[in-house]
Structure formats: structure tokens, C-alpha cells
């Protein structure tokens, strides 16, 4: 395999995605590209609010890349790092296309189908937009909640009268 692109925003779910991408890159001997996307800011904000928001968004994106860099370096791998601007789903899909990536890895916050439909979700957006295979990594807390709910449902079914 050649190249894996992973998106990060510094959240627990994106850190899980970075960890998964690192594992995949190691096992598949692939090049790793880590990307953070900061939103484009509207021009109408005016000064000094525009500069303040820009500084905040750049700092947030840089922190996300620094956290990812720590995870990558701890694994002994090397990676490239990209700081992009725009819609995260669109920019990650564009980066994967431009870099001829073989795989895109993103995290999901597990906000649920209704909230995801209303708010949109980066992971769903990448899946829709990307012409590359996409791996969506659920955060550990979400997996634990789902597994606990499944165990509870199984126990309820097991104790129901026949």
C-alpha cells in the first residue's frame, strides 16, 4: 500500500483515528499524511475579530497536529503534516485525491443518526465525497457504551419469559 491520509481535530475520536492510521501504516508499510482542517472565516467579521478568530482556529489546528505528531513519533513512524482551510470533509477528500491516497482514516464522535443528519458529520461527509476507501474509527467511549447496551439487551432477552 502507498499512502494513508488521516484527519485530526484534537478530539478523542480523531486521536483514535490517528492511532488506527499509525497501526495501519506500520502493518502496510504505507506513507502517512496527517491533516487538520480549520474552518474558513467569513470576511464580514471585520477587524480585530477576524484576526482573533483566525488566531484561535490556527492555534486549535496546530494543537491537533502536535497531538497527532506525538502519537506518530511515539510509534517510531514518520509522517507528513498538513494544515488546511475550509470544510473538513471536503478538504480531506481533496487531499486524499491530490496525494493519490490509498485510504482515508477519520474518527466519529458517535453523535447519533438524528444529530448527524441535522448537524452533518465530517466522517459521513468524507465517505460521501471521497473517491478513496474510508475507514471510520469510533472513539473508545462510544464502543464501550454500545457494547454495554448490547449486553443489557442480551440479558433482557435471556431473562424474558418464554
| Residue 81 confidence (pLDDT) above 90 | yes
Contact 9, 108 (CB under 8 A): no
Does 110 have pLDDT greater than 60?
A: no
Q: Residue 146's pLDDT is what?
A: 64
pLDDT single digits (tens) 6-35: 999 998 889 999 999 999 999 999 999 999
Q: What is the pLDDT of residue 116?
A: 44
Our CA angle for 137, 135, 138, nearest 5°, is 10
Q: Where are the domains of the chain?
A: 3-159
pTM as predicted: 0.79
Check: CATH 3.40.50.620 for 3-159?
yes
- What distance in Å separates the CA atoms of residue 128 and residue 106, rounded to the nearest whole number? 13
- Neighbouring-strand partners of residue 85: 38
pLDDT band at 141 (very low <50, low <70, confident <90, very high): low
Question: What are the cell numbers at 5?
Answer: 491520509
Mean pLDDT of 131-146: 77
Tell me how crowded residue 130 is: count the other CB atoms within 10 A of its CB: 22
Question: Whole-angstrom Cα distance, residue 150 to residue 95?
Answer: 37
Q: What is the mean pLDDT of the chain?
A: 85
Amino acid at each position: 500500500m502507498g499512502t494513508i491520509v488521516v484527519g485530526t481535530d484534537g478530539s478523542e475520536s480523531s486521536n483514535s483515528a490517528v492511532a488506527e492510521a499509525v497501526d495501519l501504516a506500520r502493518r502496510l508499510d504505507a506513507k502517512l499524511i496527517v491533516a487538520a482542517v480549520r474552518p474558513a472565516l467569513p470576511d464580514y467579521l471585520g477587524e480585530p475579530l477576524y484576526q482573533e478568530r483566525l488566531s484561535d482556529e490556527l492555534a486549535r489546528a496546530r494543537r491537533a497536529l502536535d497531538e497527532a505528531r506525538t502519537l506518530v513519533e511515539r510509534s517510531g513512524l514518520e509522517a507528513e503534516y498538513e494544515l488546511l482551510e475550509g470544510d473538513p470533509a471536503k478538504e480531506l477528500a481533496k487531499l486524499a485525491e491530490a496525494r493519490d491516497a490509498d485510504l482515508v482514516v477519520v474518527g466519529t464522535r458517535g453523535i447519533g443518526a438524528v444529530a448527524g443528519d441535522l448537524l452533518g458529520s465530517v466522517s459521513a461527509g468524507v465517505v460521501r465525497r471521497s473517491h478513496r476507501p474510508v475507514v471510520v474509527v469510533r472513539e473508545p467511549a462510544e464502543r464501550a457504551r454500545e457494547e454495554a447496551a448490547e449486553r443489557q439487551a442480551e440479558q433482557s432477552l435471556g431473562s424474558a419469559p418464554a
